[in-house]
Amino acid sequence: MQCILLAAGYATRLYPLTENMPKALLKLGDKTILDMVVDKISEVDDVDGIYIVTNEKFYNSFCDWAKTYTGGKTVKVLNDHTTSNDNRLGAIGDLKYVIDNEKIKDEILVMASDNIFDFSLNSFVDDYRAKNTDMICAHTIENKKELHSMGVVELDENGLVLSFEEKPEHPRSDLGVPPFYLYKKETLPLIDKYLAEGNNPDAPGHFVPWLIAHKPVHAFVFDATRIDIGTPESYYEACELLKQGRLFEKRL
């Protein structure tokens, strides 16, 4: 299994914090957000290598980080050669870029590089092995307003994905989908097909509703804290909670 970390965004909502610093390399205490994500990935024996895909602006910053990485996984930083939001490839475009550039023919764990969380990725992988289908993650969103800005999923009693809607005006459930995905190696050519049909290359969740029309997809439902560092407010809140020792305390 290979892990692909999506880190090619420009994080303009976090300006001025990210004008010259990629979001994933912002510090939370003595660690970067990326350190915290990679620590979780490092616990998964199935993962052989980690590919971090970024852009021209932040490529050297991630290369500098990689030189300091002392974990047990192989890490490679890739430059998608985009320079702004205007010419970005989008998350699914970046996914294809890594797969093609590195000639990956393996199953993949796909994650955003800016979400910190308090559950074991091994549990996610174990459920993926048991179900033997592509798999997404889902968890109950207590603040219903947040459902309008993320993917929302309906599941059957066995966790099979029945519907998936990105940023719904009228959510069909309270299960939000964070950017953690496991795809079988047989699914990789479908990413090409999805893009060739002219579908949205941006947010990684856009691929899921298309995929469930072609093959079964299950969801791993976790009950743990996840924080999307997307705004200055969410970043400073995470910093403060960390200082108080309450970063992953369950909050309504």
109 in a domain, yes or no?
yes
Q: What is the pLDDT along the chain (252 residues), one digit of tens a residue?
A: 999 999 999 998 899 999 999 999 999 999 999 999 999 999 999 999 999 999 999 999 999 999 999 988 999 999 999 999 889 999 999 999 999 999 999 999 999 999 999 999 999 999 999 999 999 999 999 888 889 988 999 999 999 999 999 888 999 999 999 999 999 999 999 999 999 999 999 888 889 999 999 999 999 999 988 988 989 999 999 999 999 988 887 543
219's CB contacts (< 8 A; 6+ apart) are 135, 136, 137, 138, 153, 155, 159, 161, 175, 177
pTM for the model stands at: 0.94
120 in a domain, yes or no?
yes
39 in a domain, yes or no?
yes
Residue 19, amino acid: E
Q: The domain containing residue 6 runs over which residues?
A: 2-243
Both tokens of residue 4?
Answer: 């692909």
> Domains in the chain: how many in total?
1
Count the helix, strand and coil residues of the chain and give each as a percent rounded to the nearest 5.
Answer: 35, 25, 40
250 in a domain, yes or no?
no
249 in a domain, yes or no?
no
248 in a domain, yes or no?
no
Both tokens of residue 160?
Answer: 């099979």
119 in a domain, yes or no?
yes
Both tokens of residue 140?
Answer: 């109950």
231 in a domain, yes or no?
yes
In order, the DSSP letters of 132-188 are: TSEEEEEEE-SSGGGGGGSEEEEE-TT-BEEEEEES-SS-SSSEEE-SEEEE-GGGH
Q: Cβ(2)–Cβ(220) under 8 Å?
A: no
> What CATH number is given to the structural domain containing 49?
3.90.550.10
